[in-house]
Amino acid sequence: MRIEPLSLPSYLYAQALGWDKDKEELIEQWKRILMFPGEDWNIPRGSEYVKAKHKDRHQTMLDPARVLSRLLCAKIDLALRDELVLETIVNQRYSQISESLGDNDEISENEKNIPLSWILRIADKGGINWHPGEVLTFISKSTNYSLQNEIDEIKLYYPELFQTEKNEEQIEKEVKQLIVTVFPKFLKGTALHISAPKFHKVWDQMIDEKSEEISQDSIFKAKQQWSMKVNGLFEEICTESCSDAVVLQTGGGHVLLLTEESDVKKYATNLLEKMHHGFYDRQKWAPLLWASWPEGTRSNWNPESPPASKIIKDLESEYDGDKETLRRKMAAMNWATFQFGTKWKLNAHSANSPNSQDEDQHERFYLDVVGLGDHCWPKDSAYQAVGEENVSNPPPQLPPEDWPVPKRDRDGTIRGFCNSRTITPVIESTFGLIIAKHKPSNIEAMGGDEIIFEMPPSDWQSLIENIEDHCLSLYSSVSSEPQRLLWWAICLKGITSNDFSRMKDIVKERMSPEKVSLTRFVNPIFQDFIDFDDDKDDPN
Amino acid sequence: MQDIKHWLNNLDHESKYDESKIPENRLRCLWNALAEIDELEWAEARSFILFAYGLIDAENREISSDEIKQDELEFARMCLEGKGEEVGKYIFRKRNLISVLAMEYGLLEMYGDNSVSRPWFGGDWISMAELIIHICRGRKDKSTFSKGPRDLIRLYRVEWDTVAAENVYGANFSLSYIARQQSMENQSSTENEKIYLKTTKNPLKSLWISLAAPIGRLNIITDQQRDGKKGGIPENLWEALPPRGWPGAQVG
């Protein structure tokens, strides 16, 4: 099975037990899919089925169902944007929409092209009924059937979703009316961006390694555990704490809320405080929390936390515990379905060689996204909150509560979350690809945009080739972003540090777009390359 | 390959009209060498590749030794193993296949002026490393390398169809055009290849295009398009290069 949106229906059909027996459940779950599912969305699998039926909340790690659903949403976004579907509807019904707003504010191009899933989430929260089968029919028709393969695949496995007495024209009219009804609510609300930023820097603040005798191994394991759980926990607590707002999008450690509160500053302050308590209730400490909206920003940081040794011990025990061990194992098992073809081993004869099988011979590999923050939240839209200080790199002497929170206008926030919802499934599916095709003997860390894992060193070449093909395919189908050097990749043999910023900076400088144009996605760093002298002489 | 030998014999980097400096000639040289790579000895294949990357001149074209071959082979192997090699400027500055690999990787600039480097394989350093290993091992050695020019080259000299349909332009890649002023014999069977490219901007003045994949692998992209090949390569996966100078000469 390939890792692409087209695989979603058959994957769900094979994995999601019980959906065939309960049409209401099926409709509910497809609504969740079309609303760009968050970290808490799971499908009932085998022994987990009973738990799911009893609504026992749990989060699966890197669930393929969630990743494929997000890829499908990204593909729908692209097709709707290409055909200017929402923009055309808004323009056609401009007077009706303006009238309901009661003012003459301009509607920006970004607002006219928001993801359909935001409209569906606002409708859902407001109790406005919609049917996923009808929305899919609308998407298919309004995009000139460019998603026909995907829709046909859904029809093949879930025909009951499309059972209706309405014809296509009726459906189209009703979904358009849904959009026209809901869109003014989006325009009226304030877009509030909540995040738990600066993972590494905050961790360093929490864990003062010099102050206590803690083994490096324990710190390493604790940080891995925190990196793997922080985004899911953050989204869960944020969603719980903002029951009165519409959660427009969650993913990658960022949440976009739509609130109608008139005093946004007060609302954001209370929300961050509630979230802080949410974290505190669960683990006796909280990460740095930020809120920003077009007119302001808030930050929440409480330096009073348990000693570093306690935090590390708790996270380490969690990492070693049965539940988390199973969770990591399940992630690997769930992706095994996607080991497609045989290309993962260039040299078949060495695939099962003693060296390849012997985990002691395996090497550590590191992958992360090049400049993800700048990609989603470019500096030109970030307000320099404190004087001329750089928002991305706060001065080291500043405590976290004084780190400047970037403030963005409404369009900048919309653009950022649109970028994020495309790149997030690209990142997640690439991690899935690594798990499926290279079957790492150990995944040390997997969170946000970074993965560290172990595999036979002979897999290095095929790893890069697999990622190249995967990204090329996704940039042909779900992303309209220009191709770029997207991934750093490092074979960590002989490297003990996990801080690669200096190496990256040197390579970045040497490979700046003014110097070289490369049409690949993976940029490996060979640590020995970067020592060479910067002499500008010509060859010879 | 007669014309390439002719250029090599007439290498004169001081001359303004040096044929070896014409990018079309370099592309033709590389294409033909790759098409016949299994038939070429290391020294011959190596000189064609160095020529295509502007790394050969009258002085060094005959230089070849087992030591150089071993260095080049070892360097390519180390890269494919993820290790790199302890290299210094003295290696990257030499006119050898290590420098070619460094150009594909992106660390070594291709042109002496302020032009943007655009390596022929688009930065596919893996294929270049494989190619170096393949030619260093020699044609008698068993090799799994089976890539030809269609699987490697991502920069093309094109002629445009004058009529475009729904922002999809037809670009014709033809070696015969590249060789218009050269011998017309031995033309490749890839004449009149057509690539469909989608864009909202008029690209017709551009002579060169850069693709996200070599033409032999464009199916990865076109398989995702509703209308297949004729639907066109999406705008984010190709680039029409500015209509002057070297394929990379849009800056400086």
For a pLDDT cut of 90, what percent of chain A falls above it? 60
Q: Which of A160, A188, A216 is the last residue of a domain?
A: A188
Are A124 and A255 found together in one domain?
Answer: no
Q: Name the residue among A347, A461, A516 with its Cβ closest to that of B116.
A: A516
Please check whether residue A28 is in contact with residue A130, taking contact to mean a CB–CB distance below 8 angstroms.
no
Are A184 and A82 found together in one domain?
Answer: yes
Which residues in chain B are contacts of A490 at CB distance < 8 A? 82
Half-sphere exposure of B8 (CA within 13 A, CB side): 20
Which residues in chain B are contacts of A365 at CB distance < 8 A? 82
Which residues in chain A are contacts of B61 at CB distance < 8 A? none
Are A287 and A327 found together in one domain?
Answer: no
Please check whether residue B251 is in contact with residue B212, taking contact to mean a CB–CB distance below 8 angstroms.
no
Which residues in chain A are contacts of B85 at CB distance < 8 A? 526, 528
B81 and A528 within 8 Å at the Cβ level: the answer is no
B236 and A477 within 8 Å at the Cβ level: the answer is no
User: Poorest-confidence range of B39-43, B46-50, B240-244?
Assistant: B240-244
Smallest Cα–Cα separation from A416: which of A283, A255, A288, A186? Answer: A255
For residue A292, give the CATH number of its domain: 3.30.70
Q: Is A83 on the interface with B (CB under 8 A)?
A: no
Q: In chain A, which residue's Cα lies nearest the Cα of B234?
A: A476
Q: In chain A, which residue's Cα lies nearest the Cα of B250?
A: A514
ipTM: 0.90
- Total of domains in chain A: 3
| Mean pLDDT, rounded, for A339-345 | 62
Provide CB contacts within 8 A for A494, sequence distance 6+: none
Burial of A203: CB neighbours in 10 Å, binned 0-12, 13-18, 19+ = middle
Q: In chain A, which residue's Cα lies nearest the Cα of B155?
A: A519
Asked if the model's pLDDT at residue A148 lies above 90, the reply is: yes
A480 and B235 within 8 Å at the Cβ level: the answer is yes
Please check whether residue B61 is in contact with residue B47, taking contact to mean a CB–CB distance below 8 angstroms.
yes
Q: Is A356 on the interface with B (CB under 8 A)?
A: no
Mutate which: A483, A487, A538, vs B, most B CBs within 10 A: A483
Q: Is A536 on the interface with B (CB under 8 A)?
A: no
Domain encompassing residue A142: 5-188
Are A374 and A296 found together in one domain?
Answer: no
Asked if the model's pLDDT at residue A149 lies above 80, the reply is: yes
Which residues in chain A are contacts of B221 at CB distance < 8 A? 472-473, 476
Please check whether residue A230 is in contact with residue A279, taking contact to mean a CB–CB distance below 8 angstroms.
no
DSSP state of A61: T
A516 and B117 within 8 Å at the Cβ level: the answer is yes
Smallest Cα–Cα separation from B165: which of B195, B198, B192? Answer: B198
**Cα B231 from Cα B225, distance rounded (Å):** 6
- Helix, strand, or coil here: B159? strand
Axis-axis angle for helices B42-52, B23-35 (nearest 10): 150
Are A125 and A11 found together in one domain?
Answer: yes
pLDDT in tens, A203-234: 888 887 555 678 888 888 898 899 888 988 99
Q: Is A216 on the interface with B (CB under 8 A)?
A: no
Which residues in chain B are contacts of A481 at CB distance < 8 A? 236
| Mean pLDDT, rounded, for A481-488 | 96
B73 to chain A, closest Cα gap in Å: 16
B83 and A526 within 8 Å at the Cβ level: the answer is yes
pLDDT in tens, A509-529: 889 988 899 999 999 998 776
For chain A, what is the radius of gyration of the CA atoms?
Answer: 24
Q: Name the residue among B93, B221, B248 with its Cβ closest to that of A539.
A: B93
Q: Name the residue among B55, B80, B87 with its Cβ closest to that of A528.
A: B87
Are A147 and A57 found together in one domain?
Answer: yes
Are A166 and A219 found together in one domain?
Answer: no
A505 to chain B, closest Cα gap in Å: 13
For chain A, positions 358-377, list CB contacts with chain B under 8 A: 363, 365
Query: For residue A535, what pLDDT is reported?
Result: 44
Burial of B136: CB neighbours in 10 Å, binned 0-12, 13-18, 19+ = buried
A517 to chain B, closest Cα gap in Å: 5
pLDDT in tens, A278-303: 999 999 999 999 999 999 999 999 87
Q: In chain A, which residue's Cα lies nearest the Cα of B209?
A: A519
Which residues in chain B are contacts of A511 at CB distance < 8 A? 106-107
pLDDT in tens, B161-189: 988 888 999 999 876 555 544 444 444 44
Which residues in chain B are contacts of A528 at CB distance < 8 A? 83-87
- Helix, strand, or coil here: B147? coil
**Cα A521 from Cα A459, distance rounded (Å):** 18
Q: In chain A, which residue's Cα lies nearest the Cα of B101?
A: A529
Q: In chain B, which residue's Cα lies nearest the Cα of A148?
A: B226
Which residues in chain B are contacts of A482 at CB distance < 8 A? 236
B79 and A526 within 8 Å at the Cβ level: the answer is yes
A457 and B85 within 8 Å at the Cβ level: the answer is no
Residue B24, both tokens: 């079309």
Are A339 and A391 found together in one domain?
Answer: yes
User: Poorest-confidence range of A451-465, B41-55, B108-122?
Assistant: B108-122
Q: Which of A135, A162, A188 is the last residue of a domain?
A: A188
Are A91 and A208 found together in one domain?
Answer: no
A492 to chain B, closest Cα gap in Å: 9
Query: For residue A377, what pLDDT is reported?
Result: 84
pTM given for the model: 0.91
Please check whether residue A202 is in contact with residue A400, taking contact to mean a CB–CB distance below 8 angstroms.
yes
A523 and B106 within 8 Å at the Cβ level: the answer is yes
Whole-number average pLDDT of chain A: 87
Are A245 and A357 found together in one domain?
Answer: no
Query: For residue B11, what pLDDT is reported?
Result: 61
Are A220 and A275 found together in one domain?
Answer: yes
Which residues in chain A are contacts of B222 at CB distance < 8 A? 476
Q: Name the residue among A518, A526, A535 with its Cβ closest to that of B122.
A: A518
User: What's the longest Cα–Cα distance across chain A?
Assistant: 76
pLDDT in tens, A391-439: 566 776 788 889 999 989 999 999 999 999 999 999 999 999 999 999 9
Please check whether residue B40 is in contact with residue B5, taking contact to mean a CB–CB distance below 8 angstroms.
no
Query: For residue A386, what pLDDT is reported?
Result: 41
Provide CB contacts within 8 A for A21, sequence distance 6+: none
pLDDT in tens, B92-142: 667 889 999 999 999 888 876 677 889 999 999 999 999 999 999 886 666
For a pLDDT cut of 70, what percent of chain A falls above it? 87
Are A21 and A58 found together in one domain?
Answer: yes
Smallest Cα–Cα separation from B48: which of B12, B11, B73, B80? Answer: B11
Q: Which of A281, A302, A317 is the last residue of a domain?
A: A317
A78 band by pLDDT with thresholds 50, 70 and 90: very high
CA distances from A530 to A244, A286, A524, B214 (A): 52, 38, 12, 28
Please check whether residue A442 is in contact with residue A329, taking contact to mean a CB–CB distance below 8 angstroms.
no
Which one is predicted more confidently, A64 or A252?
Answer: A64
Q: Name the residue among B55, B89, B109 with its Cβ closest to that of A535.
A: B89
